[in-house]
Structure 1
């Protein structure tokens, strides 16, 4: 690496990559936009590659930019961990965890509380969001592990997956739904249908199931995997919702929602822990993984 590359270059690059604009990053760093632009230009000159391309008002990473961000992020994390290790009496560190909806309402809250009791000095930084977003965060080193559905085979390059349990996709409705005893093909055409978004891992399985009912391409009224939104819509209507059981497990246990029988077994999938193959050991991560195995909640 060119000896003139400084940590300020790396931090500026990582912030721009995360934000996509110069103006907001410059404000946060207390710089003028021209000064930040010069810092980025210096880094690109020193590396000999273009790290971004402009699309309208945003800066989009080039292929070289994606590659450099991965390594630069890991390097900054290692430096920060090294600096923290030299400070006696400070917190042990932090573990950054990405939680997909299927693990967010029951599994991970229980694990987080057990982890807190065992490791009170380790901070759990919890990130939530859709699968593609968290997968990008994992690859870029911005989270240390991801908990939820197993990624598809095409997304597994450079990653490892540890299975925890199998979880089904359920069709849920409010308790007392007036059409609960109707054939599903008829019911699904008679009431508002809520599906997972197109980029959700479970959407393909749901689409395949709808095809077996002779309803390929059935248009949903809404798309979400968010518990608060789905629960609120079901409570105030006759809508039905295809969703991972883990998202609505508490509501099913309380009887607020009911699961309508689908009659098939292929509406299920593996839930577990996804990590980078090349990730460095993180203090406390082994305990977190062990607690996930012990607390798994199908």
Structure 2
């Protein structure tokens, strides 16, 4: 349970770090706001045309008697819209991170520098950074969809579907949200996605303590916009916990210690210095 509490604290510390530097990170709200507007427009369009899409996809129900045709297509329409809403929620962080990649990378760097021991980021062009982020986000999305399908099917099982499945769904959403939010800091450390997931799964309670509260908060669209910069800052603090900075060696330019001067005997011949002690 200590790890669970520590994960929650990293989320709070990230928001606190951002709140103390409001003027410097206020622009970080813009990528989340742009993403929110795009998603809202897409959901409105889906709401208008979901019924037509379902009718087009179920021509076999055209000859069904009333009310069965209406009930069947109404259920499918609701499921289609719910699926679109679920997809929007689970991909919001990933799309926002892509839209604001340069800002969030700079934010993670600022967090590292403020805490000390900032790693040197890989020297790769921005387009390659975006390509890696997009590829990793797509792989995470496939995992989320896979878990979503399994949980959807289990939702029809009596008792389990009404108790265990909702809790499992929140935990899955929280875990993969943590994977996304720590991605910027992990990428700055050149850690591949497979290794990131292994590290986060190895400290599962810590990861869930960080990701689950944010996943619940992100269900409220405007809250997600305002929490996004702090969530990335908290993800960076979490990565620093999982991958603590190695102690640095001698600073560049330091000269090595001088060897013990040679001794000369009375005849002027050199002899080795006596061993210490």
* Alignment TM-score > 0.5, same fold: no
**Higher RCO structure (Cα 8 Å, ≥6 apart):** 2
Which structure carries more strand by proportion?
A: 1
Q: Give the greater-gyration-radius structure (CA).
A: 2
- More helix per residue: 1 or 2? 2
**TM-score computed with the length of structure 1 as normaliser:** 0.21
